[in-house]
Amino acid sequence: MVVADNRYDVENDKSSAVSCPQSAHEIGVDHWFQAAFASMYANMLVAKLHNFRGERFLIMGGASLKACYVLFTDDHTMKLPYFTGIAGFACILFAILTPNLSSLRAWLGCSTILSLIYIIVASVLSARDGIKLPPRDYSIHGTISSKIFEIIGASSSLLFAFNTGMVPEIQATLREPCVENMLKALYFQFTVGSVPMFAVTFIGYWAYGSSAPAYLLSSVSGPVWLKAFANISAFLQSVISLHIFASPAYEYMDTKFGVSGGVFEIKSLSFRTAARGGYLAISSLVAALLPFLGDFQSLTGALSTFPLTFILANHMYLVANKDTVSSLQQLWHKLNVVFFSLMSVAATVAAVRLIIGDSSKFSVFADL
């Protein structure tokens, strides 16, 4: 946990605005809002536990770099795995040179600006294409069972994207009153902060229909310099957002092994290089090896986001406040535990099914 004297600007933490996990046609408008509402509610429960007894993406970076590369050359000598490796190296440098959450403050503002650049450019160019293109196909293809599994898997990806696990880490750094300020930040994040992500997703789906790509800038037409600028912004933002997602793990390792100190303090620098560098090097290798690594985001959401963010949050809140909540509230939280437990099982099955299906379609180190 970060020391309480540090002040953290949580309202700038819109950490994954660029990387939308699934195409909108796989989920539907109502599922986006349901994911946002459920995520906000679960994070609110965690935030309210703050004072109990006085005591939270590499392929995206590689894809944006490759999209920028193909704007200026047609030789395709550089493949997607190469760009994934470059993105991984950038993430390693950033993780090593950003020792703790306090040092992220300035970068959060940069992340927001970079996200807005991508969103505005992608939205405007997509809307322009949508006006010019002929009627599109908006239907969801496949059997009923495949649609159900895709929706469940996409929902777990959405919940994974909406939750960074940062609430327990940053709430101790807020000015008093901590709980009230955290709730204000959550309201802002899941209302105003969600609008840009919804906008770019729905505009892209409207413009290209069911053929809309996961990375929107790979399909838009427009000035080369503008698309290159947006791609570089997406790459830089993905580096920052990955660090934000991984920050709870980094903080845990630092606390576990008693590591502290400045950016260039020898012991701290050596530990960060070995621990964080090793983790990101392995992640980069796996991301380059498996072009369908995004499928594992659904599996991660099923196995970690559902249990830790929704099941555990409701259970902890119920246990901590069992003497003060009404019987109706107790029933509500128990129903949440049961519902999200079932969703976790269903999402796991859907994710495994998706991984098995895609593993037969792609070869290792494929250039997508």
Tens digit of each residue's pLDDT (9 = 90 or more) over 65-117 = 888 888 888 777 788 888 888 888 998 999 998 887 777 777 888 888 998 89
Give the residue with greater pLDDT, 103 vs 281. Answer: 281
**Among candidate residues 123, 137, 83, 368, the one with its CA nearest the CA of residue 222:** 123
Q: What mean pLDDT comes out for the span 131-149? A: 83
Structure-block tokens of residue 139: 């239907």
d(Cα 313, Cα 336) in Å, to the nearest integer?
Answer: 10
**Cβ contact 174:11 at 8 Å:** no
pLDDT at 33: 54
Residue for token digits 């590499």? Answer: 58
Structure-block tokens of residue 51: 């004072």
Q: Phi/psi of residue 10, each to 5°?
A: -70, -20
Q: Is the pLDDT reported for residue 16 higher than 90?
A: no
Spell out the alpha helix ranges (H) of 29-143: 29-48, 58-69, 80-97, 105-132
Q: Phi/psi of residue 326, each to 5°?
A: -75, 165
Q: Phi/psi of residue 313, each to 5°?
A: -60, -45
User: Mean pLDDT of all residues in the chain?
Assistant: 76
Q: CA 108: distance to chain centroid?
A: 14
Helix, strand or coil for residue 198?
Answer: helix
| Secondary structure letter of residue 214 according to DSSP | S
Spell out the alpha helix ranges (H) of 209-265: 224-256
Q: How buried is 274 (Cβ within 10 angstroms: 0-12 exposed, 13-18 middle, 19+ buried)?
A: exposed
Rounded to two decimals, the pTM is 0.72
Helix, strand or coil for residue 142?
Answer: coil
d(Cα 322, Cα 327) in Å, to the nearest integer?
Answer: 9
Q: Is the pLDDT reported for residue 160 higher than 90?
A: no
- Least confidently predicted of 129-133, 251-255, 331-335: 251-255
- For 225-238, the pLDDT digits (tens) are 999 999 999 999 88
**Cβ contact 138:216 at 8 Å:** no
Q: What mean pLDDT comes out for the span 271-298? A: 82
pLDDT band of 47, cuts 50, 70, 90:
very low
pLDDT at 274: 92
d(Cα 73, Cα 70) in Å, to the nearest integer?
Answer: 5
pLDDT at 42: 55
pLDDT at 19: 41
d(Cα 234, Cα 246) in Å, to the nearest integer?
Answer: 18
